[in-house]
Amino acid sequence: MSKNKIDTSFEQCMKCTVCTVYCPVVAVNPDYPGPKQAGPDGERYRLKNPLFYDETLDLCLNCKRCEVACPSNVKIGDIIQSARLKYGTHKPKLRDYILANTDVMGSLATTMAPVVNFTLGLKPVKSVMDAVLAVDHHRTFPKYAGQKFETWFKRHALKKQDTYNNKVSYFHGCYANYNHPKLAKDFVKIMNAIGYGVNLLEKEKCCGVALISNGFKDQAQKQAELNLSSIRKAVARGEKVLTTSSTCTFTMRDEYEHILGLDNADVRDSINLATKFIYELVDAGEIVLKFKEDYVKRIAYHTPCHMEKLGWALYSTSLVRMIPGVNFMMLDSQCCGIAGTYGFKKEHYQDSQKIGEGLFKQIIDSQLDMVATDCETCKWQIEMSTGVPVENPISIIADALDVEATVKANQK
Amino acid sequence: MKFDTIIIGGGLSGLVAGIDLSRKGQKCLIVSSGQSALHFFSGSFELCSLADNPYEGIATLGAEHPYSKIGAESIADLSAKVKPLFKEVGITLKGVKDANHWRITPMGVLKRAWLTMDEYGTVPADGVMPWKKVAVLNIDGFLDFHTSYIAAGLEAKGVECSVHAISMPELERLRMNPTEMRSTNIAKTLTGDLIGALAARINEYAHDVDAVLMPAVVGLTSSTDVVKLKEKVDRPLHFIATLPPSVPGIRIQMMLKKHFQKLGGVYMLGDSVVSGEFEGGKLKSIKTNNHGDTEFKADNFILASGSFFSKGLASDIDGVYEPIFGLDVDSLDVRSEWYERNLFDAQPYMSFGVATDNEFHVKKNGERIENVYATGSVLSGFHPMKQGCGAGVSILSALYVSSLLKTIR
Ligand SMILES: Cc1cc2nc3c(=O)[nH]c(=O)nc-3n(C[C@H](O)[C@H](O)[C@H](O)COP(=O)(O)OP(=O)(O)OC[C@H]3O[C@@H](n4cnc5c(N)ncnc54)[C@H](O)[C@@H]3O)c2cc1C
Ligand code: SF4
Ligand code: SF4
């Protein structure tokens, strides 16, 4: 789709209201007009007169569950997000800037991690954030690690990567870089064990998902272009670009084109979730994974909204199920309510928790050791709301992997 | 990725096939583009509405009809399995095997039906009205349910009706926007703690009547609210079908899907099968929209992609075609013959569909595809409306094909 083309898929709408059934916001907030009205119905009016734009569209989580359900293939979520960026009149607040710029905040915070973690956790600081910035005081900011993944990688892993013939590139994203380098290290550990070297991209910026949802379109576009240019270089070297976050993957594959109007068709298929890439290698018989016998856990998988939209939960769950000691359970696919930075905002906190209620209850009732999920914000939300630990499938595989046996099995 | 059976389309037919095959130990994948015809469901499954006894009606059908391909003996066997199957899923159906009863349409007309969801009001096979006096209630401002039609229809049959509209403050917001006052939105509101308040409003009109009839606007995700409401209302409470979307139909769709997943099946919603790789008279693999280059392989495939409405069939100026694989279809070459002048006659195009042999193997360029079967409304040779056999064909063709495929231990 070219940059300014109007998405006319709204004309396909047959008013069946099926989308409304599956919208998590409609279920909890009577002020939200719902996908049919906010999307295809509203678009008709907005095209006639932008004054018809309605600020309640900010209540949309951009979870795309409406799109997945629509029998007529209307791009409801895309229509709503594009309308917010085009017609939205309220100025983003300082709070929105802080929440949206995950990587700026990340670089600042990493250097001062102990101080920042300490301050963000303090009661008085939380109530100031609540009052001044409207970040809900129930939230704990994800902790910042003392050393960025990138720094660790350059110091401890980079050299070794040249010893592998097969190569992939890694888009680590903000979360694995600043908050949870263990995930990125786990990824490198698995890839190396199956005989793949890891390259970082020449330059990497936050995928931009939070910028899009907080109304910073120009900055999102700039960062997207920079990422695409780095990705193109990796693809030109013959490398796939792997990620460990369903949201980054979805944003770069679909939102870059649908919301930001960038042409990514040449590299779209090369941007892949690590679990999908690894599963397909196993499935094709090209690699073998060997697991520890003493890794015994009851694990349930939560399908993040963007994973539901990608339709890829199958790969992550199939991988986790390969671990012999895992007693696996699939949770009902429903939104956890956090939707990136949405649930951090004071005005959304109540809705956010109410949306996730059903999911939390199922998790608490299921006597789990752990929940597996491919999205970092789902992890925060579920851990905060249930107390059950949540891990990325990549970390679970890495912890259960018998590295020595795997390396041996994959030596050709 | 490899499965025992891959099913294209996750409506009634695809899900029944998936559940039955999963019970036999098969590893199944269902790929489904969007939601299905169940979102428009009346609450009643039709087997054959041509006669009081559905099996007598079935005996009169021509050789091209899917029932004739299944054969009378298998029809009898398989139809006996339907009620228990839905019971297992968590849906209670009423009705007996060999006598149609009557359902009440949103227009207030009685129509033959085979099995009906327990919560709906029905009239027994003999046609004798079960009530002398009823209260017909609507939700204030809900336009997809016409109490006047229902009351007129019932009064013509000698039932005394009193008509009332009830309002609930919680629904006021929906009422501000008439396009949002839809059955599903009402059901999303009228749940949990509000069921008690709703029952109290209903009870204001539940004196000296034999039953209370109201639109099917409760119980979107489970029957818990329905059971609770029935308990709290002083007189027997029955639902009548609304205009679409169908709240109970959506619940059936969700519960079938959940059950299929519980049995180990993989359901991919919002994804479309776009192409297939054929080799030596067999389908080897399929590709989907979301998964790009990834191939999904299986020993067998079931095409349950629905009719024109669900895009399992399509048409252009050259005629009717099956859009995924370009399979052979039964239709008429001359477009003017597709439609009957009289809108209320059976429309010939409704019987168009994918051509199959007696075991529902599909054909491509006249050649039988050994491992691809078609089931449900994508099939040719039947008139769901005229013969009243829509759900019956979807369920029984699915169970029949499943019975041809092997059990895996
Ligand atoms: C509006 C309507 C109302 C009806 N009401 C009743 C009733 O009340 N009682 C009754 O007995 N019968 C009724 N019928 C008859 C109906 O056909 C059957 O009851 C039954 O629900 C049909 O089920 P199905 O699974 O064959 O097809 P569908 O329900 O149409 O399901 C087909 C599925 O395949 C999917 N699909 C299509 N193409 C692809 C692709 N390329 N890749 C992946 N997925 C794909 C579609 O998205 C859809 O989910 C009704 C039919 C219609 C159209
Ligand atoms: S589900 Fe799709 S077709 Fe139906 S009302 Fe929503 S947007 Fe329109
Ligand atoms: S994207 Fe999610 S929150 Fe937004 S309208 Fe669709 S279903 Fe509702």
CATH code of the domain containing A311:
3.40.50
Same domain, A200 and A312: no
Same domain, A265 and A301: no
Same domain, A302 and A329: yes
Q: Which phi and psi (to 5°) does residue A202 adopt?
A: -55, -45
Distance from CA of A238 to the nearest CA of B (A): 17
What does the alpha-carbon distance between residue B256 and residue B91 come to, in Å, rounded to a whole number?
A: 9
Domain count, chain A: 4
What does the alpha-carbon distance between residue B322 and residue B306 come to, in Å, rounded to a whole number?
A: 10
Pick the residue whose CA is nearest to atom 6 on ligand 3: A66
Taking the Cβ of residue A73 and every Cβ of chain B, the question of whether any pair is shorter than 8 Å is answered with: yes
pLDDT by residue (tens digit) across A363-404? 999 999 999 999 998 998 899 899 999 999 999 999 999 999
Query: What residue has token string 């199939």?
Result: A318
**Longest alpha-carbon distance in chain A:** 66
**Cα–Cα distances in angstroms (integers) from residue B341 to residues B192, B336, B346, B351, in the given order:** 49, 10, 10, 16
Same domain, A313 and A340: yes
Q: Phi-psi region for residue A285, left (φ > 0), alpha (ψ -120 to 50) or beta?
A: left
Q: What is the pLDDT of residue A5?
A: 44
Query: Alpha helices of B236-359 — where are they, by DSSP H?
Result: 247-262
Same domain, A327 and A265: no
- Among positive and negative, which fits the CA dihedral A253, A254, A255, A257? positive
CA angle A179, A185, A188 (to 5 degrees): 140
Which one of the ligands is nearest to B324 CA?
1
Query: What residue has token string 């109970």?
Result: B248
Same domain, A79 and A100: no
How many DSSP H helices and E strands does chain A contain?
25, 8
Lowest mean pLDDT segment, chosen from A406-410, B152-156, B341-345: B341-345
pLDDT by residue (tens digit) across B346-372? 666 778 899 999 999 999 999 999 999
Closest by CA to B238, choosing from B194, B191, B201, B206, is: B206
Give the residue ranges of chain A where pLDDT is below 70.
Answer: 1-8, 89-145, 340-344, 412
What is the rounded average pLDDT of the residues B31-54?
92
Same domain, A127 and A81: no
Taking CA atoms, what residue in A is nearest to B31? A311
**Cα–Cα distances in angstroms (integers) from residue B119 to residues B29, B251, B369, in the given order:** 32, 13, 43
- A17, B184: Cβ pair inside 8 Å? yes
Taking the Cβ of residue A327 and every Cβ of chain B, the question of whether any pair is shorter than 8 Å is answered with: no
Q: How far is CA B69 from the centre of its chain?
A: 21
Upstream peptide bond of A389 is cis (omega within 30 degrees of 0): no
Query: Which of A174-178, B79-83, B291-295 shows the highest mean pLDDT?
Result: B79-83
Q: Which of B6, B12, B114, B250 to mutate to test the pocket of ligand 1 (most atoms within 8 A of CB)?
A: B12
Among the candidates A230, A251, A285, a domain finishes at: A285
Which one of the ligands is nearest to B287 CA?
1
Quick one: A65 exposed, middle or buried, by C-beta within 10 A (0-12, 13-18, 19+)? buried
Same domain, A100 and A118: yes
Closest by CA to A327, choosing from A266, A380, A372, A364, is: A372
Same domain, A224 and A195: yes
Q: Which of A60, A247, A259, A335 to mutate to test the pocket of ligand 3 (most atoms within 8 A of CB)?
A: A60
Closest by CA to A373, choosing from A281, A308, A294, is: A308
Give pTM, 2 decimals.
0.87
Which residue of B262, B269, B297, B311 is the best one to mutate when testing the A interface, meaning the one whose CB has the most A CBs within 10 A?
Answer: B269
Q: Three-state SS for B133?
A: strand
Q: Identity (one letter) of the amino acid at B276?
A: G
Residues forming beta bridges with residue A297, ordered by sequence position: A326
Closest by CA to A252, choosing from A264, A242, A239, A240, is: A264
Two tokens, residue A130: 């609540």
Same domain, A173 and A79: no
Residue A35 CB–ligand 3 contact under 6 Å: yes
The answer as to whether A290 is a domain residue is: no
- A20, B291: Cβ pair inside 8 Å? no
Q: For residue A40, which atom of ligand 2 is closest to its CA?
A: 7
CATH of the domain at A66: 1.10.1060.10
CA of A59 to the centre of ligand 3 (A): 9
Taking the Cβ of residue A83 and every Cβ of chain B, the question of whether any pair is shorter than 8 Å is answered with: no
Two tokens, residue A200: 């970082």
For B244, the closest of A16, A31, A34 (CB atoms) is: A16
Pick the residue whose CA is nearest to atom 5 on ligand 3: A35
Q: For residue A73, which atom of ligand 2 is closest to its CA?
A: 2
The answer as to whether A410 is a domain residue is: no
- pLDDT > 70? residue B334: no
Closest by CA to B33, choosing from B251, B389, B303, is: B303
What does the alpha-carbon distance between residue B310 and residue B308 come to, in Å, rounded to a whole number?
A: 5
Residues forming beta bridges with residue B279, ordered by sequence position: B282
In the structure, what pLDDT confidence band is assigned to residue B188 with cuts at 50, 70 and 90? confident
Q: What is the pLDDT of residue A324?
A: 96
- pLDDT > 80? residue B221: yes
pLDDT by residue (tens digit) across A285-340? 999 999 999 999 999 999 999 999 999 999 999 999 999 999 999 998 889 988 76
Q: Three-state SS for B293?
A: coil
What is the rounded average pLDDT of the residues B300-310?
94
Architecture of domain B2-92+252-404: 3-Layer(bba) Sandwich (3.50)
What does the alpha-carbon distance between residue A227 and residue A206 come to, in Å, rounded to a whole number?
A: 8
Q: How many CB atoms lie within 10 A of CB A91?
A: 7
Residue B111 CB–ligand 1 contact under 6 Å: no
CA of A12 to the centre of ligand 2 (A): 8
Among the candidates A228, A250, A285, a domain finishes at: A285
Two tokens, residue B192: 């949990």
What does the alpha-carbon distance between residue B141 and residue B129 come to, in Å, rounded to a whole number?
A: 29
Residue A244: domain span: 149-285
Domain ranges of chain B: 2-92+252-404, 121-240
Q: What is the pLDDT of residue A120?
A: 54
Q: Which residues numbered 244-283 in A keep a CB inside 8 Å of some CB on B?
A: 269, 276, 279-280, 283
**Cα–Cα distances in angstroms (integers) from residue B134 to residues A256, B131, B164, B213, in the given order:** 58, 7, 11, 7
Distance from CA of A268 to the nearest CA of B (A): 10
Would you say B354 and B329 are in contact if contact means Cβ atoms under 8 Å apart?
Answer: yes
What does the alpha-carbon distance between residue A139 and residue A141 come to, in Å, rounded to a whole number?
A: 6
In A, which residues are within 8 Å of B296 by CB distance?
none
Q: What is the dihedral of CA A8, A11, A13, A19, to 10 degrees?
A: 30
Would you say A243 and A273 are in contact if contact means Cβ atoms under 8 Å apart?
Answer: yes
Domain B121-240 has CATH 3.40.1580: no
Taking CA atoms, what residue in B is nearest to A253? B290
What does the alpha-carbon distance between residue B338 and residue B347 come to, in Å, rounded to a whole number?
A: 7
Given this chain, do its domains B2-92+252-404 and B121-240 carry the same CATH topology?
Answer: no
Among the candidates A285, A317, A343, a domain finishes at: A285
Same domain, A155 and A279: yes
In A, which residues are within 8 Å of B39 by CB distance?
16, 18, 71
For A26, the closest of B188, B266, B270 (CB atoms) is: B188
With a CB cutoff of 8 Å and minimum separation 6, the contacts of B209 are B131, B133, B134, B135, B162, B235
What is the rounded average pLDDT of the residues B395-400?
98
Two tokens, residue B377: 């409304």
Q: What is the pLDDT of residue A349?
A: 79
Residues forming beta bridges with residue A117, ordered by sequence position: none
Host H or E run for residue B211: strand B211-215
In the structure, what pLDDT confidence band is assigned to residue B338 with cuts at 50, 70 and 90? low
Same domain, A271 and A186: yes
Q: Identity (one letter) of the amino acid at A201?
A: L
Q: What is the pLDDT of residue A3?
A: 36
Distance from CA of A380 to the nearest CA of B (A): 26
Closest by CA to A309, choosing from A107, A142, A66, A124, is: A66
ipTM above 0.85, yes or no: no
- B270, A21: Cβ pair inside 8 Å? no
Q: Which phi and psi (to 5°) does residue B154 adopt?
A: -70, -40
In B, which residues are within 8 Å of A276 by CB distance?
294
Taking the Cβ of residue A27 and every Cβ of chain B, the question of whether any pair is shorter than 8 Å is answered with: yes
In B, which residues are within 8 Å of A73 by CB distance?
33-34
Would you say B131 and B237 are in contact if contact means Cβ atoms under 8 Å apart?
Answer: no
